[in-house]
Amino acid sequence: MNLKNYYMKKIVITILFFTFSIPLFSADFERTKLGIKANIQSMDVEVQFYNPHIVRIVKSQEGFVFKKESLSVIKTPQVVNLIVNQQGDIVSLKSEFIQVTLDLKTGKVSFYDLSGKALFTEKDYGTQFTPIKDVDKKTFTVRQAFLLDKDEAIYGLGQQQEGKMNQRGQKLLLRNENTKICIPFIQSTKGYGVFWDNYSPTKFVDNPQEMSLESEVGDGLDYYFLYGKNADGVIAKMRDLTGQSPLLPLWTLGFWQSRERYTSQEEIVGVVEKFRKLGVPLDGIIQDWQYWGGNGNWNSMNFDNPKFSEPQKMIDRIHQLNAHYMISVWASFGRDTKQFSELKEKKSLLNFETYPKEATPYDPYNPEARNLYWEYLSKGLFAKGVDAWWMDSTEPDRTFTRDSDLDVPTHLGTFRSVYNAFPLQTVGGVYDHQRKAASNKRVFILTRSAFAGQQRYGANSWSGDIHGRWDVLRKQIPAGLNFSLCGIPYWNTDIGGFSVDYKGGIKNVAYRELYVRWLQFGTFMPMMRSHGTSTPREIYMFGQKGDWAYDAQEKFINLRYRLLPYNYSTAWDVTNQSGSMMRALVMDFSQDKKVYDINDEYMFGKSLLIAPVTESMYVKNENDKSEEDFSQIKSKQVYLPEGTSWYDFWTGAQFSGGQTISKEVPVDIMPIYVKAGTILPVGPKVQYATEKKWDNLELYVYPGADGEFTLYEDENDNYNYEKGAFSTIKINWNDKEQTLTIENRKGSFPGMLKTRNFNISLITKGKSTADFSAKTDKAVTYKGKEIVIKLK
């Protein structure tokens, strides 16, 4: 349907919201403060504008009261000026950005841009309510069918493990479980997103006939249409709807070491000391489970294990070594814990089998239970100086996954009805309480599951207990990218995979090759974290300097730290501009259809193209016997998107976009390409994130297009930035004039550098950027006032 014709005909009804004073009725629909509502086919339908870009669609069975306070959506609807018209059976609503129509005969809702171009539409008679009983409650299974364009690509649905980038043609059960994060959200190459606001297990199906979402439980059908014009715009609207992402502390962007598990306080402190002795950078060490003792004492939130007899001394020593301490906490409690007894008394336990069998999940939907959780967490761990929380099993685990588990009551209804929101509630409980308890330490949470809106809770999700295999490594790339496209920017994996599928583990050179390649990929994740079971994987377990597996790791860990100014400024863009760190190629090159389904490359920030090596090249592994062969350098095919030119990060070689090239990849090289127009800030070589001030920064300029970069700085670990305690320096490159302008500094904060040096290198043909050894072309002293530098 083309709406241009409607507005050329006589307007039957025109209503401007700002003149609205009393309800206006027609025979077919009623005007409301947010839009319109109508009764169609024994169904109540509402179209509600939350702002000019975001529209909520609510449908319910006639006579069935549907009241809902969303767990994900926190936005309050704003006043929107609307033009409302009726032409026959079609009612149209027009904001300053989009148009929506409701068919009063079929109940179909459709969405258009202002020119009348179709964006997204329901299917005629595509709404279904099937009466069911959710235990004792009368409710429905709810289903809506939609129509997509044949060549339209869609993304999102959380973190799936199918290895697909474009989610067309998928059939998925969206139900959170270990390794699988399910978010009923999609966004399209046509510039819109759809959030299906339902927490029960939901079937997603896309086939040539229709795309549909069907949830097991729903008193009504409830979804949001978000028009952003492009992927960044859609993510910005999703953050506006469900919450902005707070800025994580600088130290979270360093390197993290973990193991399942460190068995004593001496062992975990010894790891940090070993890193410092070797001079390998490290910012975080993680204590996994059983520091509490036996399974009956599961998640006591106390160091009851006698091998952790002096926890304060342990944590203090780690802090003295300038590292941070993260600790594992769970969503379940052992039968011998005080928490278990109190929660049982409050009827706030979920009575189903979990891991381990001696533990029971708590009810995070209950505010009193969340209060109790933090009370014990605070006095048992936070008071001792624990810096960050590893919230494991936040799906939560259901050992036998029986259907009867879904009947278990929670504070908000059956577990079935709120299933997928479990991580949102339990993670949110910790964030909210810590924010109230302290403002000098930013909340940082690592969690195994997520749901829409979780970005507002300072959380970084990881992809669960995956296997250490090449095929699994490949699947992590589209899994993380689609997760990020849901509007949740912080994600990572266990570097090397949780469980190792190689005989001998780290002693097997085939696994060493896999681990090195995985760590290279991890260098360009929002969190760089080594973890797993079966075999230890600290860098010194791979040998020593001079050994290829050791040297390649050290090289990339140091690279991570040199890029901290770029990464931290990108994190500020996430918070300040609803940005993303891991960016599917379609986000920046949507006009190049070749990138729509590329699942092994992505942008990290807006300047660096990353192409992880995802297959073995130098080690043969047959019948559990491995043999390395470095006699011939192998290559990887890399597609460079059109619309810009590119620089090889390692050699400075230049390439035109829109072509596939072959890049040689010795074991210590992963393909990295820099977009023309990039201004790349590079920090000093350090052992931990805040060891040195950024008083001597390298600026690498990649000509061929105009560019800009905003350098962000603050106090690194408190919430004063929310009160304006930060500074930004905008840097511009004019390619035609070959001039770099460092603009006036904006803002200030305690401890801010008043004077600094910028060492500027213009990358030209053949000028290598490897190890940041490019010759400095200009060195300037900057005191906060604008400087214009001519480069040739």
Residue among 723, 719, 717, 714 at smallest CA distance from 748: 714
Backbone angles phi and psi of 404, in degrees to 5: -65, -20
Backbone angles phi and psi of 67, in degrees to 5: -120, 135
Q: At CA 9, angle to CA 4 and CA 15, rounded to 5?
A: 90
The Cα–Cα gap between 675 and 607 comes to 5
Whether residue 11 is predicted with pLDDT greater than 80 in this model: the reply is no
Report which DSSP code applies to 93.
E
Band of residue 775 on the pLDDT scale cut at 50, 70, 90: confident
Whether residue 27 is predicted with pLDDT greater than 60 in this model: the reply is no
Q: What is the pLDDT of residue 792?
A: 79
pLDDT above 70 covers a percentage of the chain that reads 97
Q: What is the pLDDT of residue 320?
A: 98
The Cα–Cα gap between 274 and 536 comes to 14
Whether residue 403 is predicted with pLDDT greater than 90 in this model: the reply is no
Residue among 607, 643, 596 at smallest CA distance from 524: 607
User: Where do the H-state alpha helices sit in 438-529?
Assistant: 470-484, 509-522
Q: What is the pLDDT of residue 249?
A: 98
* Bigger pLDDT: 569 vs 4: 569
* pTM of the entire predicted model: 0.96
List, for residues 646-701, the tens digit of each pLDDT value.
Answer: 999 999 999 999 999 999 999 999 999 999 999 999 999 999 999 999 999 999 99
Q: At CA 329, angle to CA 409 and CA 416, rounded to 5?
A: 20
Domain 3-227 part of CATH 3.30.360.10: no
For the chain, domain boundaries: 3-227
List, for residues 476-508, the tens digit of each pLDDT value.
Answer: 999 999 999 999 999 999 999 999 999 999 999
Contact 535, 512 (CB under 8 A): no
The Cα–Cα gap between 615 and 620 comes to 11
List, for residues 538-550, the tens digit of each pLDDT value.
Answer: 999 999 999 999 9
Backbone angles phi and psi of 78, in degrees to 5: -105, 165
Q: What is the pLDDT of residue 768?
A: 73
**Catalytic machinery residues:** 392, 395, 465
Q: How far is CA 80 from the centre of its chain?
A: 30
List, for residues 326-364, the tens digit of each pLDDT value.
Answer: 999 999 999 999 999 999 999 999 999 999 999 999 999
Q: What is the pLDDT of residue 772?
A: 82
* Bigger pLDDT: 622 vs 552: 552
Whether residue 717 is predicted with pLDDT greater than 50 in this model: the reply is yes
The Cα–Cα gap between 416 and 175 comes to 10
Can you tell me whether residue 733 is helix, strand or coil?
A: strand
Band of residue 401 on the pLDDT scale cut at 50, 70, 90: confident
63 Rama sector, left if φ>0, alpha if ψ -120 to 50, beta otherwise = left
Q: What is the pLDDT of residue 505?
A: 95
Both ends of the chain: CA-CA distance in Å?
55
List, for residues 586-613, the tens digit of each pLDDT value.
Answer: 999 999 999 999 999 999 999 999 999 9
Map tokens 């529209």 to a residue: 55
List, for residues 165-200, the tens digit of each pLDDT value.
Answer: 999 999 999 999 999 999 999 999 999 999 999 999
pLDDT above 90 covers a percentage of the chain that reads 93
Residue type, 344: K
Average predicted confidence (pLDDT) for the chain: 95
List, for residues 288-298, the tens digit of each pLDDT value.
Answer: 999 999 999 99
Band of residue 622 on the pLDDT scale cut at 50, 70, 90: confident
Band of residue 4 on the pLDDT scale cut at 50, 70, 90: very low
Can you tell me whether residue 530 is helix, strand or coil?
A: strand
